[in-house]
Amino acid sequence: MNFIALDFETANRQPNSACSLALVVVRDNKIVNHFYTLIDPEAKFDYWNTKVNGLTSKSVAGAPNFAEVWPHIAPLFSMEQLMVAHNARFDTKVLQESLRKYKIEPPHFLTLDTVKTTRKFYPDLPNYRLNTVSDYLQIKLTQHHHALADSYACAEILINETEQFGTSALKKMVLIA
């Protein structure tokens, strides 16, 4: 299966406050590349978000804003490319609102949520948080709430599910964003 696992971290509760982004590229069910960047959200950092992801205004000092990052990743977002995220509704909203903030037309793309896939395939888990699913599937999650570590774990979850349950079971859950 070919897809890109996506994860954002935000500076505050506003979805247009992306402060880091990671993309993990999977081809033929193997991780082949990744992209990670800090982002200047041009917004105030919230105590709670900083407590979760460890990022501050000092962390992102000198980082590009989202409008400067977008041209580098825009070609990856198309109706032919599957984007996967753990809680895809959150990450899709962050993408769309970050683009809207800079008056950039949001693309349409295919999306799949590994929270939904794990709920379907592993109905007896106590919860479907990324760290819980990673532990259950024995996937190494090096630093929870670090965009790159989370993207790698998300990619490994879908690779595992594809190998265990096949792609046809997953295709029914793909949505258009």
Q: Is residue 16 within 8 Å of 65, Cβ to Cβ?
A: no
For the chain, give the percent of residues with pLDDT over 70: 100
Q: Is residue 106 within 8 Å of 96, Cβ to Cβ?
A: yes
Token pair recorded at residue 31: 């991780």
pLDDT digits (tens, 9 = 90+) for 95-151: 999 999 999 999 999 999 999 999 999 999 999 999 999 999 999 999 999 999 999
Q: Is residue 95 within 8 Å of 59, Cβ to Cβ?
A: no
pLDDT of residue 171: 86
Residue 38 pLDDT level (bands cut at 50, 70, 90)? very high
pLDDT digits (tens, 9 = 90+) for 59-83: 999 999 999 999 999 999 999 999 9
Q: Which residue segments constitute the domains of the chain, with CATH numbers given?
A: 3-176 (3.30.420.10)
For the chain, give the percent of residues with pLDDT over 90: 94
The DSSP call for residue 11 is S
